[in-house]
Amino acid sequence: MSDFNLTGKVAIVTGGASGIGLAISRTFARKGAQVYIFEMNQEQAGRTADEIRAGGGKAVAIACDVSSQEQVKQQVEAILEKHPVDILVNNAGIAHVGKLEGTTEADFDRIYRVNVKGMYNCMLAVVGSMKANGGGVILNMASVAASVGIPDRFAYSMSKGAARTMTFSVAKDYISDGIRCNCISPGRVHTPFVDGFLAKNYPGKEQEMFDKLSKTQPIGRMAAPEEIASLALFLCSDEAGFITGCDYPIDGGFIKLNT
C-alpha cells in the first residue's frame, strides 16, 4: 500500500486557497502532488502556493473564475500542454442565507453560476483529457444540505443537491473510461467563513453562537478543515480505486443521528 501517496499526480483544486480547499491543497502537496490552485483571489492563491513551495511542495496559483467556461478552458488547456491532469477537486463555492422568499433572482443566479455551473465547467474541461489518458479522479464538494433540509439555505441546498447528482451522473457515464467520480458532504466545518458569518450576524455573541452551531452536530463540535482534507486524500488516492459514484457524509452524525 502506498499510504495515500500522490507523488507524480497532478491535481487541480478549485477554491484551493481558503477553508477546506486550503487544507486540501496543503494535504495533497504534502503527499507529493503537483497542485494547481484555482482562485478568484490571485493574491490569496499566491500566498498559499508560496507557503506550499516553501515547505518543499509543488504548487501553482492560478487566477480563475470557475463560473466562466472560457477562463476555465484556457487555464486547464495551459496545464494540459505541460502534463495530464490526474485529479480534479471541485471545491469552489459560495453560500447564501435565506429561505425561498428571501432569495432573489440575483441571489439564485449567483449561487448557480459558481456552485453548479462552475463545477460543470471544470469537469467538462478535464474529462476529455482524462479519457484520453486512461482515467482520472473527480471529487466534488457537496454538503449535508443535499440530503436533509437545512433552515434558511434554499439556494445553497439547491446547488449542493445538483453537485451530488452530477457526481452520480458523471460516475455512471465515464466508469468505462477509468474515471472515478465521488463527492463529499460535510456538516459544519470551522472555517474563516464561519467566523466571518458570526461576527457579522451576532456581534458580541460570537462564542455563544459558535457553541450553539457546534452542538447541532451530534458529535458535539464542528469539523476541522484538515479532517475533510484527509477524506479527500483517501478518495483521490489509488487505495480508493474501487470507489466511484458515492457520496460521503462527514458530518459528526448529523444526517443519520438527527433524522
As annotated, the active-site residues are 156
- Identify which of 86, 112, 68 has the alpha carbon closest to the alpha carbon of residue 13: 86
Alpha carbons within 13 A on the beta-carbon side of 43:
0
- Residue 224 region, left (φ>0) first, then alpha (ψ -120 to 50), else beta? beta
Rounded to 5 degrees, what are φ and ψ at 250?
-135, 85
Query: Which positions ≥6 away from 51 have C-beta within 8 Å?
Result: 26
CB-CB contact of 15 with 21 (8 Å):
yes
Query: Which residues are bridge partners to 37 per DSSP?
Result: 13, 61
